Chains A and B, each alone.
Chain A
Amino acid sequence: MNFRSSVEIITEWDIVAARQLGRNEAKKAGFGTVDQARITTAISELARNIYLYAGKGKIEIERVSEGGAFGIKIIASDEGPGIPDLRKVMEDGFSTSGGLGAGMPGVKRLMDEFKVSSEPGVGTIITTKKWLH
């Protein structure tokens, strides 16, 4: 059962919509309160990045299973300017918006798997997964 739902991120309110969707999906998938908070927070960070840096993009949430494990997959994609130095955004404390800069490394810590691909001028896709233990 590969059920996928998505939220377009255009305005600041869409961040709220995205994390509400994430929280519901996490709950439905059977995650506990702590993992629900982790997933919701990760989505909030990803959605805010899209809103701040790309202006427009999409958060997709999908249930996944792999070799007997079940989980949730979040895909954040945009057609923004891209990330010029991927290594740098994964450093703690790095931020271009003057925020806390906890964004990307934080999301990586909250989730179980994290993959980012970015091409300057084309956009960024971040895929991250959380497994039910």
Chain B
Amino acid sequence: MNKIMVEGINKNMDEIIERWITRMKEEKGERFFHFMPDHLVEKTSREFAVLMTSNINESSAANTERISDFTEKVVRFGWAIKFVNKAIDNFSDVVYEFLEEKEIINESNLRTFNLIFRNWINPLRESIIDAYSTEWERTVSLQKIALQELSASLIPVFEKISVMPLVGTIDTERAKLIMENLLEGVVSQRAEVVLLDITGVPVVDTMVAHHIIQAAEAVRLVGAKCMLVGIRPEIAQTIVALGIDLHEFTTKSTLQRGMQAALGMTNRAIVEVEAN
């Protein structure tokens, strides 16, 4: 039965592909079939069709090797998962209709063909979903690591003064990391004043403020002072509107002002020298 089906498909491959492309062009939301040059669409479609049909041959149990080959190649097309799903749907619909027209599928063998179709399409779809979600998870975890790497290094600027620029959204996990890096840095750099620069933090809500206050208190415990700088007007507004009490530690609008204050706290100042 499979053989008849494969032969039927292979003989009429060109027409199946043409019908399939027409259908895919009707799909909204994917620009591939509209923006790519025709010969490329033709080439990719043929590849897709060959990959699709290569998996029918096997009698019953799905051939894992072929499927993973299919998945690997389809993922490389770079389509959205929804679109791939649609492509698989449309392809199987077109094939089904075609086989019906050619009367390869008829009343008597309908049940058998249903089973063949199911054994053909389902593993492909599952494999695609699996591949995409694995890829997403990988991306997410890589981004998480990237975010952790980019966040929170304490930079010694002057003797006794260090700066930690904070960039991006602060969640609980990052807040813990920031706190640890901050304190380890204070001790190893022997900083007496640390400036936390929140210029790059988009939103300061109660939770973020809470983390910042905790960090400042912990800094005090190890024996240094913590100053909050880079407070933009909208941040000042939200802090007051939320009723967050920051009056226990020094805050400055800019890193520059903070640095001046920090020098003052360590009994130093920047002086201009006359040019020769």
Contact = CB atoms under 8 A, between A and B. Distances in A.
Secondary structure at chain A's binding surface: helix, strand, loop or mixed?
loop
B173 A133 contact: yes
A100 interface: no
Interface residues of A, number: 3
A133 B180 CA distance: 14
Interface of A: 32, 34, 133
A34 B180 contact: yes
B134 to A, nearest CB: 14
Nearest to B173: A133
Contacts of B173: 133
Nearest to A34: B180
3 tightest CB-CB pairs across the interface, nearest first? A34-B180, A133-B173, A32-B180
A111 to B, nearest CB: 13
Contacts of A32: 180
Contacts of B180: 32, 34
B149 to A, nearest CB: 14
A89 to B, nearest CB: 22
Interface string B176-200: 0000100000000000000000000
A32 B173 CA distance: 15
Contacts of A133: 173
B147 to A, nearest CB: 13
A32 B180 CA distance: 10
A133 B176 CA distance: 11
